[in-house]
Amino acid sequence: MSELAAQVAADLSLALHRAKFPVPVGVSVRHFHVTEADWRVLFGAAAPVKKRGLLQPGFWAAEETVTVEGPKGKISRVRLVAPYRTRTQVEVSRSDAQTLGIDAPVRGSGKLSGAAPVKITGPAGSVAVPDALIVAQRHVHFHPDDAARMKVKEGEMLRVRCGMGGPRETVFEGCLARVSDKFALEFHVDTDEANAAWLKNGDLSYLV
Amino acid sequence: MSELAAQVAADLSLALHRAKFPVPVGVSVRHFHVTEADWRVLFGAAAPVKKRGLLQPGFWAAEETVTVEGPKGKISRVRLVAPYRTRTQVEVSRSDAQTLGIDAPVRGSGKLSGAAPVKITGPAGSVAVPDALIVAQRHVHFHPDDAARMKVKEGEMLRVRCGMGGPRETVFEGCLARVSDKFALEFHVDTDEANAAWLKNGDLSYLV
């Protein structure tokens, strides 16, 4: 076989292998993460109260919400995802960013270089954070066992097919592979991406 | 060549041919079309006033806007796209439909079977239309000259790649081909789809 034919055969073989492992979709609705210091300003002294656990181990949605504000508008009831972080971070869809009138960049969680400024208001006070607002980069969480089984490496850029059988089947390029023993297998998209492909939580997607 | 190999070669040849013709993206923001009777109820006797022409010949955005309302919320400043139609139709993104609290189906323009009920309010009055709210099916407009050049037929379902070079390259399946001598070459997506692929008006997309 020529080198090209060998590469095509290897790619096809890998794609067929990965296609045996469906990945559940998780739709991330707008939310925020907070430092303990910003928490105190926004909510006073008490600690966040757990509302429900998330599929990713150790993460949970809190009862507490804030209002997020930009030059063109506000969005209320933006929920806290705990536990505390070392940086305060607000994750919205680009539709949300347009409502706020803020030009927010696509970033992986915690990668706040170039993140947009935003004002956050809670029941006890407000913080204006200079670099907190991002649109999340779509990504797939893998436990190391899943990654080994599916032959995926941390940091790899994946192509994910989703919405099969619905009115808006879509192939998303540029989906970041995140591998950690703290993760469960899940493809995270935001609400714009979920709506563009007509997805809901728990729908199945496939690496291609 | 085997039959399968011949089909693969033909598909590849067609894809390579079509890839020579970039298709500009048009992002459809929420808007509505109106019957002359509903226009009178919403705005009184005067006729719509042109704000600006659209790329599709004969269509124009009017100065007039309405508020659209569902059980969970309202969206104001929803713009009229003229001229009058035989059916009143409101086109929103699924994000918008969720804001309104309405389960709107994906439909081609004018295909209002199963469309959702919605209340529309203008400066002179309101109408409650039982079957008006849809999420637009993504589609490509072709002039017959474009269709012939690109070897596309009316009603064909196309696959369109877009967002190349941006942070969210995406391949949209199930894009309906619409061919008419009243059309100009353009790939119409809604704001959810534009944001999922990080697109703006005039970006280039490619049939694949």
Which residues, 6+ apart, have CB-to-CB distance to B167 below 8 Å?
A105, A106, A137, A174, B198
Question: Does CATH number 2.40.40.20 belong to domain B10-26+138-207?
Answer: yes
Please report the pLDDT score of residue B2 as a whole number. 83
Rounded to whole angstroms, how far apart are CA atoms A35 and A144?
28
Mean pLDDT, residues A50-59 = 93
- Specify the 3-state DSSP secondary structure of A13: helix
Count Cα neighbours of A126 within 13 Å in the Cβ-side half-sphere: 9
* Residues of A with Cβ-Cβ distance to B192 under 8 angstroms: 95, 191-192, 195-196
Please report the pLDDT score of residue A2 as a whole number. 84
Residue B195 at interface with chain A, using a CB cutoff of 8 Å: yes
Rounded to whole angstroms, how far apart are CA atoms B203 and B199?
6
Residue A33 · residue A42 · CB < 8 Å: no
Residue A193 at interface with chain B, using a CB cutoff of 8 Å: yes
pLDDT band for position A10 (cuts 50, 70, 90) = very high
* Residues of A with Cβ-Cβ distance to B93 under 8 angstroms: 95, 195
What average pLDDT is seen over chain B?
96
Question: pLDDT digits over A102-131, tens only?
Answer: 999 999 989 999 999 999 999 999 999 999
Rounded to whole angstroms, how far apart are CA atoms A28 and B36?
42
Mean pLDDT, residues B130-147 = 97
* Short-list B11, B16, B4, B51, CA closest to B31: B51
Token pair, residue A147, equals 């990654």
Question: pLDDT digits over A79-94, tens only?
Answer: 999 999 999 999 999 9
Which of the residues A76, A95, A159, A208 would you substitute to probe the B interface, choosing the one with the greatest number of B C-beta atoms within 10 Å?
A: A95
What average pLDDT is seen over chain A?
96
Residues forming a β-bridge with A142: A179
B207 pLDDT higher than 90: yes
Please report the pLDDT score of residue A59 as a whole number. 94
More confident residue, B55 or A140: A140
- Does the beta-carbon distance from A195 to B137 stay under 8 Å? no
Please report the pLDDT score of residue B158 as a whole number. 97
For the stretch A94-121, what's the b/e string if a residue is b when 16 or more beta carbons lie within 10 angstroms of its beta carbon? bbbbbbbebebbbbebeebeebbebbbb
**DSSP type of residue B115:** P
* Residues of A with Cβ-Cβ distance to B196 under 8 angstroms: 170, 172, 192-193, 195-197
Please report the pLDDT score of residue B1 as a whole number. 62
Question: pLDDT digits over A58-68, tens only?
Answer: 999 999 999 99
Strand runs labelled E in A29-115? 31-33, 50-53, 60-69, 74-82, 89-91, 106-107
Cα B150 from chain centroid (whole Å)? 21
pLDDT band for position A46 (cuts 50, 70, 90) = confident
Distances (CA, A) of A3 to A9, A10, A92, A208: 10, 10, 44, 22
B43 pLDDT higher than 70: yes
Please report the pLDDT score of residue A198 as a whole number. 98
B135 pLDDT higher than 70: yes
Residue ranges per structural domain of chain A: 10-26+138-207, 29-136
Mean pLDDT, residues B91-101 = 96
Rounded to whole angstroms, how far apart are CA atoms A1 and A201?
43
- Amino acid occupying residue B134: I
Which of the residues B113, B173, B199, B205 would you substitute to probe the A interface, choosing the one with the greatest number of A C-beta atoms within 10 Å?
A: B173
A1 pLDDT higher than 70: no
A25 membership: H or E segment, kind and range: strand A23-28
